[in-house]
Amino acid sequence: MKVLIVENADLVAQMGAEIIRELVDSKPKAVLGLATGSTPIAMYAYLVQIHKLRGLSFKEVSGFNLDEYIGLESDSPQSYRSFMNRSLFDGIDIGLNNTYLPSCGYEDDFNSVASEFENTIRAKGGIDLQILGIGRNGHIGFNEPISSLSSRTRVKTLRQDTIEDNSRFFDEGEFQPFQAMTMGIGTILEAEHILLMATGLEKAKAVRDAIEGPLSAMCPASALQLHKKVTVILDEASAQELENKNYYKWVNEKNKELEAMVSTGHTRGNSCMSEQL
Ligand code: PGA
């Protein structure tokens, strides 16, 4: 994993947006894996700015969201479809018919919705970059603790702590779903590159368990340790419990020194000299 620790949440959002910009610039038909929640909102706002001010086009980009609630109409303001339209899709030129969420109602056949979602990802050539947040309990998507580390897209019943964390999006007395369809951990691990972002002290323990803890279904995000290319961007608060925090910072300083040495001609070599993941 490449662990980048920056001063604050705004820098996390800027760096995340920059990684997406680079990908879409070099691959206009990029396939993005998208996340909802509070963490990516500021990054999506930067992408809208980059689209408007610098002309980055998403016309040929496809987006697959990690998850969607079951039991809400897709036009309900709390559905993840509405969240994505509001936070990103309405502000850029992506074709809505190129955006996919694992949406299903109780009347649908869950298994066929899930396999159609996975087949569509495959038909698009797979996900180039998967964006992830992390839950306080270590979940990625709605893969709650003890999810199978090789799970595929399916329905999960949410844990009480997840429901409490997300209750801020629902008015008192309003129906809050307790089930969702989510990409599985195995599905997520098939993405070419994974970008996990976390901010705030309340994520510090989950971040430590994911990066430095044992590989365990109790912390679904620890499965990312198995992936060949993961970038983690953290603010200082969410990095607080990392035992090797100073080492991650030191590696990044050394990588920057190497880049400077190459660009000023002080050493022969190329940009691949910095540490590989
Ligand atoms: P958050 O949620 O970004 O709202 O903190 C992240 C998650 O639960 O995956």
Q: Are 253 and 171 in contact (CB under 8 A)?
A: no
DSSP state at residue 140: B
How far is residue 44 from each of residues 20, 21, 89, 129, 232, measured CA to CA in Å? 10, 11, 9, 15, 17
Categorise residue 257: left if φ over 0, alpha if ψ from -120 to 50, beta otherwise: alpha
- Residue 192 appears among annotated catalytic residues: no
Q: How many DSSP H helices and E strands does the chain contain? A: 8, 10
User: Which pLDDT score is estimated for 271?
Assistant: 58
Residue 32 identity (one-letter amino acid): L
More confident residue, 27 or 262: 27
- Ligand 1 center to 141 CA (angstroms): 9
Q: Output phi, psi for 271, to 5 deg.
A: -65, -10
User: Which pLDDT score is estimated for 212?
Assistant: 98
Quickly list H helices, the chain. Answer: 9-26, 41-54, 80-87, 110-123, 160-166, 185-189, 204-212, 245-263
Residue 68 identity (one-letter amino acid): E
0.85 exceeded by pTM? yes
- Residue 144 appears among annotated catalytic residues: yes
Sequence-distant (≥ 6) Cβ neighbours of residue 180 within 8 angstroms: 67, 68, 69, 70, 142, 155, 156, 158
pLDDT in tens, 209-235: 999 999 999 999 999 999 999 999 999
Residue 275 has pLDDT above 90, yes or no: no
Determine which one of 137, 190, 209, 235 is catalytic. 137
Q: In 3D, which of 122, 74, 63 has the Cα closest to residue 97?
A: 63
Residue 268 has pLDDT above 90, yes or no: no
User: Which pLDDT score is estimated for 94?
Assistant: 98
- Ligand 1 center to 151 CA (angstroms): 20
- Ligand 1 center to 261 CA (angstroms): 39
Report the alpha-carbon angle 98-101-102, nearest 5: 135
Mean pLDDT of 176-201: 98
Mean pLDDT of the chain: 96
